Amino acid sequence: MSGTDPIGPIEDRPNPVRQISDGPLRSELNRDIPVARPFEFAPLRIGPLTIDPPVVLAPMAGVTNAPFRSLCRRFSKSRCLYVSEMITARAFIEGHSRTLKLASFGADEQDKKSIQLYGTHPETLAQATKILVEDWGVHHIDMNFGCPVRKVTASGGGAAIPVRPKLLASIVRAVVKSAGAVPVTIKFRKGIDDSLLTYLDAGRIGEQEGARAVALHARTAAQLYSGTADWAAIATLKQHVKSIPVLGNGDIFECWDALRMLRETGCDGVVVGRGCLGRPWLFGELVAVLTGEAPPPPPNLGIVLDTLREHASLLAEFFGEPLGMQQLRKFTGWYLKGFPGCKRQLPALHLVKTLADLDLLLTDLPRDLPYPEIALRARRCKDGRAQEKVALPAGFLDCRFDELQIQDPIEMDGG
């Protein structure tokens, strides 16, 4: 079994974004936020890994595959940590072709191979971890205890697992033991809803069972991606977890948001999710402001289109052109978000089948349009709705502190 599926040496490709505007762009919310002072933020240390500045790409279903990670990495010159989308332990062990593809790494990922692993059974997760460490040579394993999607929580996984502390502890313990020297981290939400908050227990269990860092998406599972992330919960978690780093996740749409989160919560690093969709250059901006420099000016539409085209090429190389173009379709609206006059092309872009067709559709767009401020915080990927009730297995909330075993789902990659 091989853990590498080359898509070509990314460092040899030209960076598609150039600095052509008059200065950094920021929303009114961040108008007066200064860049970092010298040595204001320490590097993030996760076991033997050092991430400087302390920025992590959040695992996102159907998004953080090898091509997207490579594109993001290029903008930060590989200075952040880029985590794969969620991989199901059982499907990985059984060798499902789709799972193995999603678990594979690009040719540029040689020093920080990072993968998010999902499952509900300690032995299955431990077995998958052993393969990832010994055969695939991964350098970091993140565990998903935060996915709020119905099909995941209804099977007792994702954000449901912290409801059962002994189950959570047994899973983390098994994976940490199997991983050996490879650091294991865990990512979770505040809880099921406001009446059942579990994040402090999850942080304590992660710390006690050998996780090398914990990350909190500061929303409940019921919230999904609605409302505003509760950064105060990140600060509270930081006060309770003392011996390992605490990372904050939620509402990092601009590089300035990361500065505010770090300063307001005292957390040790930020996890960036929806804010980078259609904006992979955000990681270059984050590196700049967290190391005391002004961010590069934003790209105009022409440079955005060049980036979109390069992303398409990477996806086509990795998945093959038909599937690669299917993967690209959702990104087209994210890249073009906020640019006037571009909506008319979206229906066709959402059906694009070939690179040649893509080129034709992009040809007539006005390349000199400046990057719109409204696009900085525009909603991408998830809608603003919450869920009335989080789906859980029957009886899951009964005797919460008893032992429990759940069989792993066969295949549920990407959430």
Averaged confidence pLDDT in the chain? 92
CA 159 to chain CA centroid, Å, is 16
Measured distance CA(142)–CA(183) in Å, rounded: 8
Low pLDDT (below 50) residues in the chain:
1-21, 414-415
Instruction: Find out whether 112 and 139 touch, Cβ atoms under 8 Å.
Output: yes
Q: Say what the pLDDT of residue 411 is.
A: 59
First to last CA, the chain: 24
The pLDDT, as a whole number, for residue 95 is: 94
* pTM to 2 decimal places: 0.92
Structural domains of the chain ordered from first start: 39-290 (3.20.20.70), 301-375 (1.10.1200)
Quick one: pLDDT at residue 413? 53
Catalytic residues, by residue number, are 147
pLDDT value at position 408? Answer: 77
Q: Which residue has the tokens 């029957």?
A: 394
Question: What's residue 383's pLDDT?
Answer: 67
Residue in the structure block whose two tokens are 């040809």:
363
DSSP annotation string for 205-259:
HHHHTT-SEEEEESS-TTTTT-S---HHHHHHHHHH--SS-EEEES---SHHHHH
pLDDT for 405: 83
